[in-house]
Amino acid sequence: MNGILIVNKEKDYTSRDVVNKLIKILNTKKIGHTGTLDPIATGVLVVTIGKATKLCDLLTSEYKEYIATMKLGIETDTLDITGSITKEEDYNITEDQIKEVLNSFLGNSMQEVPLYSAIKVNGKKLYEYARKNIKIELPKREINIKKIDLISYKDDLITFKCLVSKGTYIRSLIRDIAYKLNTVATMTKLIRTKQGIFNIEDSYTIDDIASNNYKIISYEEALSNYEIINIDDNLYKQVSNGAIIPKIFKNDKALIKYKDTIIAIYQTYDKDITKAKPYIML
């Protein structure tokens, strides 16, 4: 079995929990995923099966859409409601102020990653430092927010939808939104509604999959934005051996197809742009 499966991850499951369950259900050990969701989060988890595990880097580069809810007035060590409260502050905020602050995050910015995360510093994951109460300077990374819109503001809860680049931490975004509103906040709910072309409407729960109610997405569907090049027997021999071939596609990368099967992804050869070299063999 080779392809992509869109899972609707349930709350309190880690992404690894989902993979472990699928290994048993689908009876294959070759399963991966393309973007970790915290246990508190639900929604789209793109799972790769068989040779499709080689596609993880291509699939993780896409934008992700989330619906997030933040609770005003408290901040926790984990930046979500599962953590211990570290700050409490009053607030006096209007809906117009929230909209203005949300809009200020559009475009590129630098984001400090959460202390409780798997980002490595000096060979150790940040949460390992946190658990041992070791102070460390948190790294920053550039993020891009393409869209961000207020959904609702009621009592002490703000819910918003955002479309963000790879590597964006919504917990950190919520922290920074609160700071701009001159208060603190923590994440109480997070739903990933979209990753690239994959929508939550097209996802399956673990129970669905266990009941054999699911669809495997092909390479062509998953990478529909890539050009497809059909090759003949002669070129097939070269491609199957991972040879450098004449570049017969327009963009940097293309799917190579032989007799109705995608067998490789080729990319422009850096030493000669008129030629192409293997990027992934499938």
Residues annotated catalytic, as ranges: 38
d(CA 267, CA 258): 17
Which residues touch 262 (CB under 8 Å, ≥6 apart)? 218, 219, 220, 228, 255, 256, 282
Which SS3 state, helix, strand or coil, does residue 250 take? coil
Amino acid at 251: N
> φ and ψ at 222, to 5 degrees?
-65, -30
- Token pair belonging to 195: 């990753």
Which residues touch 7 (CB under 8 Å, ≥6 apart)? 18, 22, 44, 45, 46, 47, 203, 204, 205, 206, 209
Query: Which segments of the chain does DSSP mark as H helices, in order?
Result: 15-26, 56-60, 95-103, 126-131, 170-180, 206-210, 219-222, 233-240
